[in-house]
Amino acid sequence: MQIHKLTPAPIRFARRGNKENPFPGGVGVGCWRQNQMSVKQILTKDNFSREEIITLLTCIGEERTLLFQKSAEVKEKYIGKKVWFRGLIEFSNICSKDCLYCGIRKGNKNLRRYNLSDEEILAAAKFAFDNNYGSLALQSGELESASVTGRIENLLHRIKELSGGKLGITLSVGEQEHEAYKRWFDAGAHRYLLRIEATNEDLYKKIHPRNSKHDFRRRLNCLKSLQNIGYQVGTGVMIGLPFQTNEDLANDLLFMKDFDIDMCGMGPYIEHAETPLIEYAGELLPVGERFDLTLRMIAILRIMMKDINIVAATALQAIDPIGREKAVRIGANIIMPNITPGKYRDSYKLYENKPCTYDSAEDCQSCLEARVSLADNEVVYGEWGDSKHYERRRKDQIQFTTE
């Protein structure tokens, strides 16, 4: 595979801070700048400009606390102090793509590949149902073929059947043709997660091989297809990527607002030794800063899009043992407990330090329940926990077309 030599642009963010200037970089950075609205003033608004988002991404001390207080208030008011589970089944780590950051990329030959049998997937779905999870999420590496489409369609029917239609289903199996998305929607999947990974096309190109299999425009079109079909659509980005600026991150949030997403899953980028991007490990923000930036991104998005579903990404816990709880406190409302059969978990390593790879599904559940209550929130069982934003969006659409 051809790997492009990546040269960090000199004026761009992605550098370590220091005591005087802990978050150096991008355009308009720093709350200490004069002629700039204070964080307190910015937080009285619902819509933020790019510059205001950058201020929120970089403020420190009491201003940072204000941001998190505000986002927690918004969550409580619009969502409640609640968390919904999506039992996560990582059913195969076989991937046709070669994203330069991802541990299960096709080019990583140092990995045992697996593909759960239909019976194993259905047993995990049954576990979710028996434990009163409202929903599950089926995730895998990206593969496109008639047999994959047919297999997933069949599994969706069987999961609906075993749960009497009660289990909600999120799919996350990458870029596909419109027809495959449509068949799966008709078979009962109603949410789809497809992270755009980076909305700056130049950055996207730097973290993917430059070929038609890794085409930014196609990914975007897939998101549009999903929305047109009627899915609740989720997207997200990685935070702290090499070459990424605060301006990029602000644009990512504006993209999500503009696209009118229903769900978001975003997490810190964590380097993986068996990937080409490891070459830039020395250029990255320290993990603690990547973690904090992720919390800020979640908090800002919660204020901008009050009633969407936001996932507390597992990658947060790879950095901080109570990372997901922190995200729940300041705005996230979805957790995806891993219910993949234990023997396979170690092989779905997208990044280093992935937590819970040795736990059984039961361990994960009781551990997470305790964690959620530590975050002063409660787990809601037996409900789909659909995005309220989606309901509102659909109502508005219907009203609009009948007027």
Interaction site with ligand 5AD (CB under 6 A):
101-102, 195, 197, 238, 267, 269-270, 272, 315, 350-351
* Binding-site ranges for ligand FES (CB under 6 A): 95, 97, 99, 102, 104-105, 141
Q: How far is the CB of 171 from ligand 5AD (least distance, A)?
A: 12
Q: Which does 137 bind (CB under 5 to 8 A by kind): ligand FES, ligand 5AD, none?
A: none
Q: Which does 267 bind (CB under 5 to 8 A by kind): ligand FES, ligand 5AD, none?
A: ligand 5AD
Provide φ and ψ at 73, rounded to 5°. -60, -45
Closest contact distance (angstroms) between CB of 195 and ligand 5AD is: 4
Residue 190: which of 140, 129, 154, 231 has the closest Cα?
A: 231
- Selection from ligand FES, ligand 5AD, none that 95 binds (CB < 5 to 8 A by kind) is ligand FES
> Environment class of residue 343 by beta-carbon count within 10 Å: exposed (0-12), middle (13-18) or buried (19+)?
exposed
Q: What is the per-residue DSSP string for 285-311? A: PPHHHHHHHHHHHHHHHHHHSTTSEEB
Looking at the Cβ atoms of 13 and 351, the one nearer to ligand 5AD is 351
DSSP designation for 277: G
| CA–CA distances in Å: residue 403 to residues 392, 397, 399 | 16, 10, 6
**188 or 268: CB nearest ligand FES:** 268
State in angstroms the smallest separation of the CB of 103 from ligand 5AD. 6
Bridge partners, 137 (sequence order) = 88, 170
Distance CA 302, CA 73 (A): 10
**Nearest approach, Cβ of 101 to ligand 5AD (angstroms)?**
4
Looking at this protein, which amino acid is placed at residue 11? I
Nearer to ligand 5AD, 58 or 314 (CB): 314
Residue nearer to ligand FES on the CB measure, 101 or 291: 101
CA 223/CA 307 separation, integer angstroms? 20
Give the integer Cα–Cα distance in Å for 30 and 57: 9
Q: Which is nearer to ligand FES, 69 or 145 (CB)?
A: 145
Q: Give the shortest CB-104-to-ligand FES separation in angstroms.
A: 5
